[in-house]
Amino acid sequence: MLYLIGLGLGDAKDITVKGLEVVKRCSRVYLEAYTSVLTVGKEALEEFYGRKLILADREEVEQKADNILKDADLSDVAFLVVGDPFGATTHSDLVLRAAKRGIPYRVIHNASIMNAVGCCGLQLYKFGETVSIVFWTDTWRPESFFDKVKKNRESGMHTLCLLDIKVKEQSLENLIKGRKIYEPPQYMSVNQAAQQLLEIVQNQRIRGEEPAITEETLCVGLARVGAEDQKIAAGTLQQMCTVDLGGPLHSLIITGGSMHPLEIEMLSLFPMPEDSSESQSIDGL
Amino acid sequence: MLYLIGLGLGDAKDITVKGLEVVKRCSRVYLEAYTSVLTVGKEALEEFYGRKLILADREEVEQKADNILKDADLSDVAFLVVGDPFGATTHSDLVLRAAKRGIPYRVIHNASIMNAVGCCGLQLYKFGETVSIVFWTDTWRPESFFDKVKKNRESGMHTLCLLDIKVKEQSLENLIKGRKIYEPPQYMSVNQAAQQLLEIVQNQRIRGEEPAITEETLCVGLARVGAEDQKIAAGTLQQMCTVDLGGPLHSLIITGGSMHPLEIEMLSLFPMPEDSSESQSIDGL
């Protein structure tokens, strides 16, 4: 049996009891290590599970999936995914390969950012299409995702923006020269995402288009959702450019404009950190 | 501290390790028992957790929230929710009441149907606004949610339909007479939801409108997602009227029309049960 097991969003203890039991008894346990990360690393998971984990990078999963599936019809193999196994489409591919080989599979679900964002108080059913914001380079600065934000806002829907992760990527030079030297991991911050969004807004203005959002659009920045040190801040897109939410992973929500009173009240629990420190210093006078 | 703890979607062992630790040490543990159910009841949870649970019905949570929050500033109180705590808006209200009273709270996330539907292979980011389908009565047959299905399909987005649950509801007669006698719980099946949808389609045709979906629209019926005996079947809306998916809870997806090849391939893993029994009997010839 192939088990696809979600690890949830925080640390080692966010695995389900059922998931942990399966991990402990599988013959091999893979850890998918390129679509998301927990607040703890592989070693902390190994210690908590009492099992050695095999890191599975993108190449392993997409091109060497047969290694993962080897003998999974005879013994149990676990494939661990941060969040829920079906957050990333790449894992459908693994399921399909298993099915083609007659290997049975089971999914042990867990929280993913797709549902855990509800913790900020915005209502889950009012989210439109989720978008991904990728790191811009000097030559590749895609803006097409912005159409989806526009469409969502026209329907009064919030947009969850998943922010880019670069893990085990090679520089262009190393790629060309075939050197297996990898760049340090990069995780897009809410600041970077907001700055890219504002640049798109500026570009649209230059082209005479009316942008779907402005500097003043209400957004929510989220960091390390589900972890003890989770941070959430509601504020304008402009404020998102500078808010300090700490380490990865970050996500950004662009609100849909019209809000339910309960949503507004919930967001008021998450003021910008600058505001709270100001009010603290006033309180302390 | 008030802990809002998601129980996930299957049985007692779908709680996270972190959630279980908190449940074991809290002074009082409430089980929210009206927005969703697991495949096991309160007793099975109590046995697995080693704790007595206090059932919290809608009245308790919405009108007597102070009971739940009592002394939560002095000791730890857990509030257990099937799925993830922020699937239902009613729990935002509990958080806001806690915040107003200066009671700190924490959320321990888990899978909800909102992300676990990804297991059928439809890509999560391609879901539009989620809708709820309620039980029709002789006099109350709301169709307004259908506009959202239409809007989603116009954008090529799938629609997750959450199906009605009636727990601890009084008949009109008992309500009027003030008798606290409750009807047996009712859970809408995929069959009932599909039949109501087809009636809306017929009504629209009678009114000369062009319905956003037809008898032939590709849908996915899901039952007991996350449980061992989970059932998923992809087929037409017409087929959804009769497919046998077994006990609750059920959910229905109306696909968005345009599909990614990987989505189509994944759905082919979930043929209609009739088809599979036919092909089995052919194989057995």
A225 is in an annotated binding site: yes
Question: What pLDDT is recorded for position B279?
Answer: 41
Residue A63's pLDDT is 83
C-alpha distance from B102 to closest chain A C-alpha (Å): 11
Q: How much is the average pLDDT of A1-10?
A: 96
For residue A280, is pLDDT > 50? no
pLDDT at A277 over 50: no
What pLDDT band is residue B180 in, cutting at 50, 70 and 90? confident
Binding site annotation covers B225?
Answer: yes
On whether the CB atoms of residues B214 and B197 are closer than 8 A, the answer is no
Task: Give the whole-angstrom CA distance, residue B255 versus residue B74.
Answer: 49
pLDDT at B280 over 50: no
A vs B, Cβ pairs < 8 A, gives: 177
Give me the residues paired with residue A160 across strands: A253
Do A16 and B109 make contact, defined as CB atoms within 8 angstroms? Answer: no
Whether A220 has a pLDDT exceeding 80, the answer reads yes
Confidence of residue A64 (pLDDT cuts 50, 70, 90): confident
pLDDT surpassing 50 at residue A276: no
The 10s digit of each residue's pLDDT in B20-62 is 999 999 999 999 988 888 889 999 999 999 999 999 988 888 8
Per-residue pLDDT at B274: 65
* Closest by Cβ to B8, choosing from A16, A225, A266: A16
CB contact under 8 A, A20 and B17: yes
Can you tell me the mean pLDDT for B148-155? 93
Q: How close is the nearest chain A Cα to the Cα of B185, in Å?
A: 25
pLDDT of residue A274: 66
For range B226-249, the mean pLDDT: 96
ipTM reported for the complex, 2 dp: 0.92
User: Which residues in chain B are contacts of A98 at CB distance < 8 A?
Assistant: none
Q: How confident is the model at residue A250 (pLDDT cuts 50, 70, 90)?
A: very high
pLDDT, chain A, mean: 91
Nearest CA in chain B to A91: B121
Residue B258 to residue B264: CA distance in whole angstroms: 10
CB A84 within 8 A of CB A117: no
Tell me the percentage of chain A whose pLDDT exceeds 90. 76
For residue A259, give the DSSP letter.
-
Q: Is the pLDDT of residue A105 over 60?
A: yes
User: Residue A84: which of B115, B121, B126 has the nearest Cβ?
Assistant: B115
Mean pLDDT taken over chain B: 91
Q: What is the pLDDT of residues A195-205, one digit of tens each?
A: 999 999 999 99
DSSP state of A284: T
Listed in sequence order, the DSSP H helices in chain A are 17-25, 42-49, 58-63, 65-69, 90-100, 113-116, 146-154, 172-176, 190-206, 237-240, 261-267, 273-283
Report pLDDT digits (tens) over B77-92.
Answer: 999 999 999 977 778 9
Q: pTM, whole model, 2 decimals?
A: 0.92
A76-89: per-residue pLDDT in tens?
Answer: 999 999 999 997 77
Residue B277, SS3? helix
CB B234 within 8 A of CB B267: yes
Is the pLDDT at A25 greater than 90? The verdict is yes
Contacts of B276 in chain A (CB under 8 A): none
- Span A9-23, mean pLDDT? 97
- Please compute the mean of the pLDDT values over residues B187-200 and round it to a whole number: 97
Q: What percent of chain A has pLDDT over 70?
A: 96
